[in-house]
């Protein structure tokens, strides 16, 4: 029997040398920067700048809503101008925004910074999918999974750096981290400039029976329904960092350190199993079944977490470990299914427009997540967890029919392109290791 090779397994996460590997290098550096940013920015604003919790939350919420209408426009610009140009615009703005955190002095300066940053961040999110599709061509789904897995590694590394800075705790320790994040974005921009400046793809030619429309996504009913389901499923990705810490600390006897353990387990499962669990998810119908498995897995994991109160610390710890692992696997199926649908349903010339619409829906879900998780679920205990899991199961049950509807309504050329990335079983390490999404 062939032994396990860590080197070969690690190589399965890397595409061949070339533009794909260049993109992944830049993306991973960006995720390291994000891994530093996410744990520190609220602490910096509330503990160092001394902005109240309520005003910090208000500024972040207002900024999210202000930037929201721009995502569809940004995605359309990526299709019309070329994706690399719009991606670079988004990266440049985030570089300036991260550096601007050191100048925040109160609510109004915070609001200006986060509003500006969201304009550029939403622009980036709406255009990165179009760039990845141009770089990877028929192998987009595998490439997107590799990006996801290595991005998780980057976030983990960044969080370790953030932990050091938080331990030091001085104002200049935080400011130094923000300046380091900004410097990382300069590196990402330099790496992205090495990727070709792809020209916009031609739109379908008009005929007497049909003329191409600019906002095709707004007329694509299967994709609109899919976007709503996908956006609602996105709420599940915030359970680990919004609902679970409160549940563990306030409602169970599990040690407080299990909060950190849950983060480590969730990330570790994604890193180890992302490629393996996603290797056979390539067509729209396979993606729909993956989302169904996601719904079942989320319900099962949430039931384990819901059972934690009233038990001894050791049993509560066992339940949180088991629940988090099951949920992490479910989320791998979720992101794997989403990757396929988000690249197989949109026409290639309108990928950015479709991504922009999808990001608009997802941002609304992200805005609603704290209200659902902290305002409703946590207060209802076991019933709240059961209701949340049941809701995600319902979304999973709907997904195969939605995926089939989307596949049937694609033009023949697009349907063929959507399945062109089906892996050859003899491809070797990559096919044998086999991703999720998650964002």
- For 420-435, what is each residue's pLDDT tens digit? 333 332 222 222 223 3
Residues 314 and 424 in one domain: yes
pLDDT tens for each residue of 291-309:
999 999 999 999 999 999 9
| For helices 171-192 and 19-43, angle between their N-to-C axes, nearest 10 degrees | 160
Q: What's the DSSP call for residue 218?
A: G
For the chain, the helix, strand and coil percentages under 3-state DSSP, each to the nearest 5: 80, 0, 20
Q: Is pLDDT at 246 greater than 70 in this prediction? A: yes
Q: Which residues contact 375 (CB under 8 A, 6 or more apart)?
A: none
Residues 171 and 290 in one domain: no
pLDDT band at residue 204 using 50, 70 and 90 as cut-offs: low
Q: What's the DSSP call for residue 198?
A: P
pLDDT tens for each residue of 43-55:
888 888 998 877 8
Mean predicted lDDT score pLDDT of the chain: 83
pLDDT band at residue 56 using 50, 70 and 90 as cut-offs: confident
What pLDDT, on a 0 to 100 scale, did the predictor assign at position 214? 67
What pLDDT, on a 0 to 100 scale, did the predictor assign at position 419? 40
Structure pTM?
Answer: 0.74
Residues 28 and 157 in one domain: yes
What pLDDT, on a 0 to 100 scale, did the predictor assign at position 206? 54
Rg (CA), the chain: 21
Residue 212 near residue 349, CB atoms below 8 Å: no
pLDDT tens for each residue of 347-364:
888 888 888 888 888 888
Residues 154 and 260 in one domain: no
What pLDDT, on a 0 to 100 scale, did the predictor assign at position 243? 84
pLDDT tens for each residue of 11-21:
666 777 788 89
Domain extent for 252: 217-433
Return the minimum-mean-pLDDT range out of 142-146, 375-379, 421-425. Answer: 421-425
Most confident segment among 85-94, 134-143, 235-244, 371-380? 85-94
Residues 167 and 249 in one domain: no
We report the CATH number of the domain holding residue 286 as 1.20.1250.20
Q: Is pLDDT at 217 greater than 60 in this prediction? A: yes
Residues 237 and 176 in one domain: no
Structure tokens at 198: 């792809």
Q: Which residue has the higher pLDDT, 104 or 413?
A: 104
Q: Which whole-number Å values give the CA distances from 146 to 160, 193, 273, 320, 326, in the listed order?
A: 22, 21, 11, 28, 21
Residue 63 near residue 186, CB atoms below 8 Å: no
User: How far, in Å, CA of 221 to CA of 242, rounded?
Assistant: 32
What pLDDT, on a 0 to 100 scale, did the predictor assign at position 319? 96
| Residue 310 in domain | yes
Structure tokens at 87: 């991606």
Give the Cβ contact number of residue 127 at 10 Å: 32
| Residue 205 in domain | no
122: left (phi over 0), alpha (psi -120 to 50) or beta: alpha
Q: What are phi and psi of 312, to 5 degrees?
A: -60, 155
Residues 239 and 343 in one domain: yes
Q: Is pLDDT at 1 greater than 60 in this prediction? A: no
Q: Which residues contact 283 (CB under 8 A, 6 or more apart)?
A: 340, 344, 407, 418, 419, 422
Q: What's the DSSP call for residue 196?
A: -
Q: Is pLDDT at 416 greater than 50 in this prediction? A: no
Residues 131 and 248 in one domain: no
Which of 177, 192, 207 delimits the end of a domain? Answer: 192
Mean of pLDDT values over 174-198 = 94
CB hemisphere CA count around 84 (13 angstroms): 17
Structure tokens at 290: 């993956």
Residues 178 and 243 in one domain: no
Mean of pLDDT values over 281-297 = 92
Q: Is pLDDT at 209 greater than 70 in this prediction? A: no
What pLDDT, on a 0 to 100 scale, did the predictor assign at position 87? 92
Residues 235 and 161 in one domain: no
| Residue 351 in domain | yes
What pLDDT, on a 0 to 100 scale, did the predictor assign at position 7? 58
What pLDDT, on a 0 to 100 scale, did the predictor assign at position 418? 43
Give the Cβ contact number of residue 356 at 10 Å: 28
Per the structure, how many domains does the chain have?
2
């Amino acid at each position: 029997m062939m032994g396990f090779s860590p080197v070969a397994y690690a190589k399965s996460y890397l595409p061949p040398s070339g533009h794909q590997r260049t993109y992944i290098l830049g993306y991973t550096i960006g995720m390291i920067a994000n891994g530093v940013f996410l744990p520190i920015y609220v602490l910096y604003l509330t503990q160092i700048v001394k902005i109240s919790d309520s005003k910090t939350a208000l500024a972040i919420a207002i900024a999210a809503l202000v930037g929201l209408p721009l995502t569809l426009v940004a995605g359309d610009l990526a299709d019309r101008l070329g994706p690399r140009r719009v991606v670079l615009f988004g990266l440049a703005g985030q570089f300036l925004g991260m550096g601007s955190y050191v100048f925040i002095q109160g609510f109004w300066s915070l609001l200006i910074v986060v509003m500006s940053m969201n304009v550029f961040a939403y622009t980036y999110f709406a255009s990165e999918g179009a760039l990845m599709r141009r770089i990877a061509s028929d192998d987009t789904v595998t490439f997107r999974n590799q990006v996801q897995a290595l991005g998780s590694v980057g976030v983990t590394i960044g969080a370790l750096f953030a932990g050091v800075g938080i331990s030091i705790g001085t104002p200049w320790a935080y400011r130094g981290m923000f300046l380091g994040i900004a410097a990382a974005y300069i590196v990402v921009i330099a790496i992205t400039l090495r990727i070709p400046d792809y020209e916009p793809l031609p739109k379908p030619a008009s005929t007497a029976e049909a003329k191409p429309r600019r906002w095709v996504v707004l007329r694509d009913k299967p994709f609109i329904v899919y976007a709503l389901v996908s956006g609602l499923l996105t709420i599940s990705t915030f359970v680990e960092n919004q609902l679970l810490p409160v549940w563990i600390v306030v409602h169970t006897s599990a040690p407080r350190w299990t909060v950190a353990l849950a983060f480590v387990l969730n990330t570790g499962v994604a890193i180890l199993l992302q490629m393996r669990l996603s290797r056979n998810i390539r067509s729209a119908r396979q993606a729909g079944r993956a989302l169904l498995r996601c719904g079942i897995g989320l319900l099962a994991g949430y039931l384990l977490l819901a059972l934690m109160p009233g038990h001894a610390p050791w049993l509560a710890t066992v339940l949180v470990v088991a629940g988090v692992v099951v949920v992490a696997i479910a989320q791998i199926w979720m992101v794997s299914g989403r990757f396929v649908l988000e690249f197989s349903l949109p026409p290639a010339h309108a990928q950015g427009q479709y991504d922009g619409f999808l990001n608009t829906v997802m941002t609304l879900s992200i805005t609603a997540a704290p209200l659902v998780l902290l305002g409703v679920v946590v207060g209802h205990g076991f019933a709240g967890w059961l209701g949340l899991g049941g809701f995600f199961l319902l979304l999973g049950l709907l997904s195969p029919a939605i995926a089939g509807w989307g596949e049937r309504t694609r033009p023949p050329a697009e349907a063929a392109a959507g399945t062109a990335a089906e892996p050859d079983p003899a491809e070797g390490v990559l096919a044998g290791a086999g991703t999720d999404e998650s964002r």
